[in-house]
Amino acid sequence: MFSAILIEKGESGQAARVTSLDDSALPEGDVTVDVEYSTLNYKDGLAITGKSPVVRRFPMVPGIDLVGVVTESSHADWKQGDRVVLNGWGVGETHWGGLAQRARLKGDWLVPLPSAFTPRQSMAIGTAGYTAGLCVDALLNFGVRPDQGEVLVTGATGGVGSVAVALLTKAGFKVAAATGKASEADYLRQLGAVTVIDRAELSGPGKPMQKERWAGVVDSVGSHTLANATAQTRYRGAVAACGLAQGMDFPASVAPFILRGVSLLGIDSVMAPSAPRLAAWSRLASDLGAGALELIAEEIALGDVIAAAGRLLDGTVRGRIVVDVNR
């Protein structure tokens, strides 16, 4: 038996609870993992509260991240005792996820726990931090350089934004952090932000072309924020878009793309193949210090997850929530 968050759907809708499950209930997979830590991401919050149709199959164990120890494996890459990390792949949506003490998964979804991190630290990073790594890699691979000017990070106090600020600072950029939480300005400066701006400067309707400000952008917000950030991006700059906290819409024009040569780089962390995943984790291992991780993360127990999901969607969470599934 093992403890898990279980989301079930009935005539009155869906509901989440903490319960005990038998190993026989685990889904198909070629690797079984004793989970040490998971996380609570925005997508998990939507799944647990039912505020968006994230869950595609019921019953469902949410949790798009996990780290743990392999206990059984018929996959060639993994053996008993290996420590592995999982991010994405539809886990917590179509396949039981990490907010449980045990998981059964496909070995192709797993990556080794980087030696630079403890299991807890890897979940302080989680999908949000790994996504930030993909964004920073995308900007650097595109050719955005620190000498080209300031870079913008939207949703900067969130999980993606916090890690992006730290990684971009380490890469030598001057970072402007956009947030709706004025009280968190010191936190963002501790992560390396040079400038902190009010998200209200970006969150309303704006002109198709605006004053050039940013050499590059990491955006986890979408909607008007992404449109305005794009309209403010410098000639031949790039915007890495990875989220939709404000909305899925993109109320923009083609003007920045055809008049300034701005590039919009779409970042998918869920189904990203092995090479960019490993590259992102390598960057995180080399550039994200333990001090930043402690600053970014708070830890809760499995029994606290359902209440914390509402807090996360209310926008009152700073950084990352790490879940110790064994307490």
Mean pLDDT for the stretch of residues 225-244: 97
Dihedral (Cα; 143, 123, 285, 155), 10-degree rounding = 30
Q: What is the mean pLDDT of the chain?
A: 95
For 223: left if phi > 0, alpha if psi spans -120 to 50, otherwise beta; the answer is left
Cis ω before 59 (30° cut-off from 0):
yes
| CA quadruple 28, 33, 34, 38: dihedral, nearest 10 | -90
Per-residue model confidence (pLDDT) at position 11:
86
Q: Tell me the helices (H) and strands (E) count for the chain, helix number first.
A: 10, 15
* Confidence band, pLDDT 50/70/90 cuts, at residue 7: very high
- In the chain, CATH 3.90.180.10 covers 2-113+290-324
112-131 tens-digit pLDDT: 999 999 999 999 999 999 99
User: pLDDT of 18-36, one tens digit each?
Assistant: 999 999 999 999 999 999 9
Q: Is the pLDDT of residue 271 over 90?
A: yes
Domain boundaries 2-113+290-324, corresponding CATH code: 3.90.180.10
User: Which pLDDT score is estimated for 154?
Assistant: 98
The pLDDT assigned to 318 comes to 84
**How confident is the model at residue 292, as a pLDDT?**
87
Share of the chain above pLDDT 90, in %: 89
- The SS3 of residue 240 is strand
pLDDT confidence of 13, banded at 50, 70, 90?
confident
* Cα separation values, 128 from 7, 218, 270, 281, Å: 22, 12, 11, 12
Tens-place pLDDT, residues 154-167: 999 998 999 999 99
pLDDT the model gives residue 289: 82
Q: Where in the sequence of the chain do the CATH 3.40.50.720 domains occur?
A: 127-266
Report the distance separating Cα 29 and Cα 228, nearest Å: 44
pLDDT category at 10 given cuts 50, 70, 90 is confident
What CATH number belongs to 127-266?
3.40.50.720
Tokens of 290: 């333990």
Residue 277 has a CB neighbour count (10 Å cut-off) of 19
The H or E element containing residue 196 is strand 195-198
Check pLDDT > 90 for residue 103.
yes
Instruction: Give the pLDDT band of residue 89 (cuts 50, 70, 90).
Output: very high
pLDDT at 173 over 90: yes
pTM for this model (two decimals): 0.90
Secondary-structure percent of the chain, ordered helix, strand, coil, rounded to 5:
35, 30, 35
DSSP state of 107: G
End-to-end CA distance of the chain: 15
* Inter-residue contact 163 to 132 (CB < 8 Å): yes
Q: Minimal CA–CA distance to 269: which of 148, 163, 133, 172? A: 133
Cα angle 212, 214, 216 (rounded to 5 degrees) comes to 135
Q: What is the mean pLDDT of residues 128-157?
A: 97
